[in-house]
Amino acid sequence: MRPQARIAVGSAATWHFRLAGGIFVALVVGELAAQTVRGGDGAGPAGWLLLLGAASWLVGLVWRERVGVARAWLCFAWVALPSLLVMQLAVQRGFLFGPLEFGDRELPRVGPVPLSVPLLWWLVVGGAYLVVEGLWGEMRAGISAFTAVITVQLALMVLPFVGAVRDYWRWPVEPAAGASAAGRFFAVPWSVLAAWLVVALGLSLGLVILGDNWSSADARSRRQAWAPAAVLLGLSLVCLWAETRAGLWMAAAFGAANAFLFGTVVVWYLRERTAPR
């Protein structure tokens, strides 16, 4: 890592960044402990919302350091508002994601959609984008596509968690008898994964434009990869533990793959930080 990038990394360690990180770690530990004691429901919908809120805060702080306050909020709005609209259309008309319903326990809501939903989209798309761009640097053409692929990998872990484990998301139309195994992934239609890819690709394409501050190469260094990777690692551990306890082994395998992926990025950063200059 270049000396300029090392200085930039240090600039992220301000009091609010440390505060957000401490809150997020405490919430992850509390969620894992609650799952151990109470089973799959863990800390419940309030704990899930707080966890996503702290994670989104951390990702937003990295975006703020990278592009400034105003453009960071613009990037957040670009991800949160369209994802909220798409999910509202899914509930009302079955748009893209099919006949989707949300459980009654998740509050507050924006119309029929829980607030946790746009926060989740910001976390997975905004966080994955930072990780991909931080590692790839100037390879702009493939950043949005690879970000979308990473978000689908996250969806294979998250959707069984919010659906089969927590019952926050539901696809109420049951397939014909004998077709469930072929047409669904833990009660989630396979077509939903295609919809997730399409939405993630559109959102990440927008971030390529809105998030490009045309700065020097050191502004797109691994400083923006380690913190979002650590956040996504925490999310992966929460989903992995819940799905393991619920016996959802395939979903847990995707959670383990994500934990390994993002854990490797964090370890790589730590190794670079401690390597002699």
Instruction: Check pLDDT > 70 for residue 170.
Output: yes
Number of domain units in the chain = 1
Q: Which of 42-56, 106-120, 201-215 has the lowest mean pLDDT?
A: 201-215
The mean predicted confidence, pLDDT, of the chain is 84
Instruction: Check pLDDT > 80 for residue 3.
Output: no
Query: Per-residue confidence at 223, pLDDT binned at 50, 70, 90?
Result: low
- Say if residue 142 is exposed, middle or buried (CB neighbours under 10 Å; 0-12, 13-18, 19+): exposed
The β-bridge relationship of strands 101-102 and 113-114 is: unpaired
Q: What is the pLDDT of residues 176-215, one digit of tens each?
A: 444 444 456 777 888 899 999 999 999 999 998 887 654 4
Domain containing 57: what range?
3-274
Q: What is the pLDDT of residues 123-140, one digit of tens each?
A: 999 999 988 887 776 666
114 pairs with which residues across the strands? Answer: 109
**How many residues in the chain?**
277
% of the chain at pLDDT higher than 90: 53
> Which residue would you say has higher pLDDT here, 182 or 35?
35
